[in-house]
A and B are shown apart, each in its own frame.
Chain A
Amino acid sequence: EPEVTQTPSHQVTQMGQEVILRCVPISNHLYFYWYRQILGQKVEFLVSFYNNEISEKSEIFDDQFSVERPDGSNFTLKIRSTKLEDSAMYFCASSDPSGAEAFFGQGTRLTVV
């Protein structure tokens, strides 16, 4: 069964460093998303991406965040200068052309020290 895959599963980085979280969405999907879950809190929408551009972003998604689809298969989230409060589980998701249902990856746990 097709699935969304994310790498790495866990990343530890020092405050102020740049990180790139990687995702391979399901191959025929057209909508891509990043969500974030701070430990013990609910899952929050960060950004959606369609037709090679950001479709919508939340207020969390400020200038330190960026997304890119560098080739036909990968979808990345870059955090330019990490802060302690960026520590969270980051989920990538993708939906088929209907856009109705999102399929989630297993997540990348980011720890900023």
Chain B
Amino acid sequence: AQSVTQPDIHITVSEGASLELRCNYSYGATPYLFWYVQSPGQGLQLLLKYFSGDTLVQGIKGFEAEFKRSQSSFNLRKPSVHWSDAAEYFCAVGAPGNTGFQKLVFGTGTRLLVSP
């Protein structure tokens, strides 16, 4: 069965510093991979996705992620964090459903705190 592991429950980063959030997945075939962000009390906003092709994908808000098949990883990065980036970040893998849709399997999330 598909699974996603986000090993860091909380991460604190100073404003302006770089960020890397880790994500490892378990899936038998080429995965569809996603990063979502959730601000407190809000819904899920898609940051970026990987379906195929270039393994370095660019997303919104200056985020990028790199798919590494050999490591089963899809880590999220940002070169310079802003205070508004403080939120919960979820990695997800798309698992094919019965009729061609992608059922998402989420990781447990990483809460990002940004210190001044």
CB distance from B13 to the nearest CB of A (A): 21
In contact, B104 and A102 (Cβ under 8 angstroms) = yes
CB neighbors of B among A9-48 (8 A): 31, 33, 35, 41-45, 48
Task: Please report which residues of chain A, range 56-101, place their CB below 8 angstroms from some CB of chain B when the two chains form the complex.
Answer: 56, 91, 95, 99-101
Total contacting residues, chain B, CB less than 8 A: 27
* Residue of A whose beta carbon sits closest to that of B100: A99
Contacting pair A107 B104 (CB below 8 A): no
Q: Which of A's residues lie within 8 Å of B, judged by CB?
A: 31, 33, 35, 41-45, 48, 50-51, 55-56, 91, 95, 99-107, 109
Q: List 29 A-B contacts (CB under 8 A).
A: A41-B108, A42-B90, A42-B107, A42-B108, A42-B109, A43-B44, A43-B92, A45-B103, A48-B98, A48-B103, A51-B99, A55-B97, A55-B98, A56-B98, A56-B103, A95-B101, A95-B102, A99-B102, A100-B32, A101-B46, A101-B49, A102-B102, A103-B46, A104-B46, A106-B42, A106-B43, A107-B42, A107-B44, A109-B41
Q: Which residues of B contact A (CB under 8 A)?
A: 32, 34, 36, 41-46, 49, 51, 90, 92, 94, 97-109
